[in-house]
Amino acid sequence: MDRDICIIGQGLTGLTAAHRLAKAGKSVTIVDLSDQSGGLAADIPCGGTTVERMYHHCFASDEHVLQLAAELGLAAQLKWYRPSNGLLSGGKLYPFTTPADLLTFSPLPVWDRVRTGMTVLAAKRRREWRTLENTTAKSFLIAHAGRTAYEKLWKPLLVSKFGDDADQVSAVWIWNKFKLRGGSREGLKEEVLGYLDGGFGRLGRTLAERLPADVLLRNNETALNIRRINNGYAVETDSGIITASAVIAAVSAPVFNQLTDALDLGDYRSRLNAVRYKANLCLLLSFDAPVTPFYWTTVCDRLPFVAAVEQTRLVPAETYGRHLLYLSRYLDESEPLWSETDDRLASVMKEALFAVFPEAKAHCRGVEALTRSRYAQPVIPLQYSRRMPEISTPLPGLFLAGMSQIYPEDRGLNYAIRLGNETAGLILA
């Protein structure tokens, strides 16, 4: 075999696994179709620094991010900020940062505001999640927060994320969202979010730069298929063949399905086929002045974006020499918006933004980046733990390490790093 391990994908999962395996003395080759490290945290130059193409931050409870940043000597450059959050409902903006903001959220009757707050607090304190696997998020929220709160607050949010699948999403998913945000604050204290100077793309770049010299990083090379040979595998790419004793595919379930179509995976194949995703469109705009009053604005209204994330309401605008705003939309690839040209898509999103914030039009500098991700958000149905493809496939030495294995938590920087560590650990065990 040419190498001990071949890793497909140089996102944070693949790079973290390579880092651990190389430190343990394994020979590693990484192949990736792009020339940028970091996966969805990849960045672009911006005003003398860098910023992610898609918004990122970390929470105070993200131990794997904190540990990796410390290991790479970046801990001092991880800064903590107090975000301001808002909610757009019925064409009106509401602050949504503190428990007090919820209690003054006028679209809900007072008792429903109280019930909603109690639901979030109870979810934050809950540790056991398996009994939630038999309940949809819809049923859970109606039962605990009330139907009015569900219809006016939670349903628009679920639909904006999962579309026609919203009614089938497991309560485990919404529970984890509540728990995660609760982990970024202590009691009734203000929430804090972490951001790395220069963006989290630096984690990926630094990991790639710190890999030992004998780790081969093959950029701009597309993996085509994986075949069994003797006691190992042959990974065919558009540039040749890589042979290895073991393969880690740090990719989505559909991509892994295609790569392994010549292999007999037995019932594991049906698990791969069952995983469904929502795509994401993320537009990054720059302005000469602030656009929104908040860092994160959740959109309950029917607009072509479901979140407006103003980066420079978290990190000072002086960092970039401009104000930055992300607009995000989750959707199915069958929806017309996915097939629009970049120019048309940017135009549609900007037009909707300016309808809500008319003064922003005069200050808009233009598009910094438009990113399309086909497999951005796995849809989490009931009893997902029984359907989830395991990291270890039925074939020895073949591993899948993608978002579909992050459960019961939801995908994010912290769990991508954890998944890389876990997968490397399986090989080294």
Note whether 293 and 93 are within 8 A (CB): yes
Q: Which of 154, 182, 210 finishes a domain?
A: 182
In a domain, 213, yes or no: yes
pLDDT 10s per residue in the chain (429 long)? 889 999 999 999 999 999 999 999 999 999 999 999 999 999 999 999 999 999 999 999 999 999 999 999 999 999 999 999 999 999 999 999 988 999 999 999 999 999 999 998 888 888 899 999 999 999 999 999 999 999 999 998 899 899 999 999 999 999 998 887 655 555 445 789 999 999 999 999 999 999 999 999 999 999 999 999 998 999 999 999 999 999 999 999 999 999 999 999 999 999 999 999 999 999 999 999 999 999 999 999 999 999 999 999 999 999 999 999 999 999 999 999 999 999 999 999 999 999 999 999 999 999 999 999 999 999 999 999 999 999 999 999 999 999 999 999 999 999 999 999 999 999 999
In a domain, 327, yes or no: yes
With the C-alpha atoms ordered 388, 159, 102, 360, is the resulting torsion angle positive or negative? positive
Note whether 363 and 288 are within 8 A (CB): yes
Q: Are residues 287 and 338 in the same domain?
A: yes
Q: How deeply is 392 buried, as exposed, middle or buried, from its count of CB atoms within 10 A (0-12, 13-18, 19+)?
A: middle
Relative orientation angle of helices 171-182 and 137-145, to the nearest 10 degrees: 60
Q: Are residues 91 and 173 in the same domain?
A: no
In a domain, 45, yes or no: no
Q: Are residues 412 and 354 in the same domain?
A: no
Tokens of 271: 């698990």
Q: How deeply is 92 buried, as exposed, middle or buried, from its count of CB atoms within 10 A (0-12, 13-18, 19+)?
A: exposed
Q: Are residues 317 and 252 in the same domain?
A: no
Tokens of 102: 């919820």
Beta strand 85-89 pairing with 296-299:
parallel
Give SS3 for 166.
Answer: helix
Tokens of 64: 């794997």
In a domain, 252, yes or no: yes
Q: Are residues 267 and 404 in the same domain?
A: yes
Rounded CA gap, 324 and 316, in Å? 10
Output the domain CATH number for residue 290: 3.90.660.20
In a domain, 122, yes or no: yes
Residue 297 phi, psi (nearest 5)? -115, 115
Q: What per-residue confidence (pLDDT) applies to 188?
A: 47
Which range marks the domain in which residue 341 is found? 57-97+190-198+278-378
Q: Are residues 266 and 391 in the same domain?
A: yes
Q: Are residues 330 and 305 in the same domain?
A: yes
In a domain, 44, yes or no: no
Q: Are residues 286 and 360 in the same domain?
A: yes
Number of Cβ atoms within 10 Å of the Cβ of 210: 15
In a domain, 47, yes or no: no
Tokens of 175: 């529970």
Output the domain CATH number for residue 417: 3.50.50.60
Q: Give the CA count within 13 Å in the CB-facing half-sphere of 252.
A: 19
In a domain, 246, yes or no: yes
Q: What is the CA radius of gyration of the chain?
A: 22
One DSSP character per residue, 94-128 reads EE-SSHHHHHT-TTS-HHHHHHHHHHHHHHHH---
Give SS3 for 342.
Answer: helix
Rounded CA gap, 413 and 418, in Å? 9
